[in-house]
Structure 1
Amino acid sequence: MKAASIKTIKDELKHKTSSELLELCLALTRFKKENKELLTYLLFEAYDEDRYIETVKLEMDEMFSDINTKNFFFIRKSVRKILTSTKKQIRYSKKKSTEVELLLYFCLKLKHFKPSIKGSPRLQKVFETQIRLAKKAMSTLHEDLQYDYNMLLEEIEN
């Protein structure tokens, strides 16, 4: 089955009653976990972005503490999982300031991780890529925010 365009779906949704829309939303949440997470963000967390960021940071802290440090293979695998989760949370928010803050926090956690990521060129590449993405997102923010985030970025890079 080919998916309909956004415009077609939007036009069709205009003809639905509120109870039908409610049923459609609930059907979407049952279908896929990401739909449920997005709806949770939109309904309960979008109004307080700072609290949302702190919640995601706490999740990252927990995931970093659970990493198996026996060898770099397990570390890399876990770091990629944390990064995937973080990127998903960033997609829900769609705010550049949230993206910058979470990426910089990820990089800070990765830099201070023991054993050091300097022993793994792949982990260093992940670190550098996320720094580059954070800088790119930072360039779209207001100058005051850019200054604050640049201070944090300098701390991470040194």
Structure 2
Amino acid sequence: MKAVTLKQLKDELSHKSANELKELCLHLSRFKKENKELLTYLLFESHNEESYVASIKAQMDDQFEEINTKNYFFIRKTVRKILTQTKKYIRYSKNKETEASLLLHFCKKLKLMKPSIHQSQRLENVYFSQLKMATKAIEKLHEDLQYDFQIELDNITNA
């Protein structure tokens, strides 16, 4: 089966009743965990972005605490997992402020991690690429927010 275009889906959904749309959403949520997570964000957390960001940061803090620091292989593997989850939450939000905030928090936690990421070129590359992405997200924000995030970015890079 080949998937149809977004326009065709939009047209077909416009002909459905509210009850049918609800059933389609519930049916969709049964198939993938990500679909259920996205619906959870849209229905329960999108109205309060600050608490959403705070909960993700707390989750990231917990994950960084649980990293197996015996060798750099395990550290890299866990850091990539944390980053993948963070990117998924950023995609749910589509908010540049959320993206900048979460990426800066990720970079701060990564830089403060023991043993130092400077012993591993791969971890340093992850760190610098995420700093670059955070900078790009910051550039797309309002001037006042840019200033605040730039101060935070400078604190991370100079620490």
TM-score by length of 2: 0.98
1:70 aligned partner: 70
Cα deviation, residue 38, structure 1:
0.3
Residue ranges of structure 1 left out of the alignment (5+ in a row) = none
Partner Cα distance (1:49, 1:19) in 2: 28
1:56 aligned partner: 56
Q: Which amino acid aligns with 1:97?
A: E
**Aligned pair 1:103/2:100, yes or no?**
no
Cα deviation, residue 63, structure 1:
0.6
1:4-43 superposed matches below 5 A: 4-43=4-43
Cα RMSD, aligned residues only: 0.5
SS in 2 for 1:56: helix
Partner Cα distance (2:96, 2:55) in 1: 17
TM-score by length of 1: 0.99
Cα deviation, residue 19, structure 1:
1.4
Between the aligned residues of both structures, percent identity stands at 61
Cα deviation, residue 16, structure 1:
1.0
Query: Cα deviation per residue 1:12-71 (whole Å; 9 max; x = unaligned)?
Result: 111111111111001110011100000000000000000000000011011101110000
Query: Cα deviation per residue 1:56-98 (whole Å; 9 max; x = unaligned)?
Result: 0011011101110000000000000000000000000000000
Partner Cα distance (1:151, 1:77) in 2: 30
How many residue pairs align between the two structures? 158
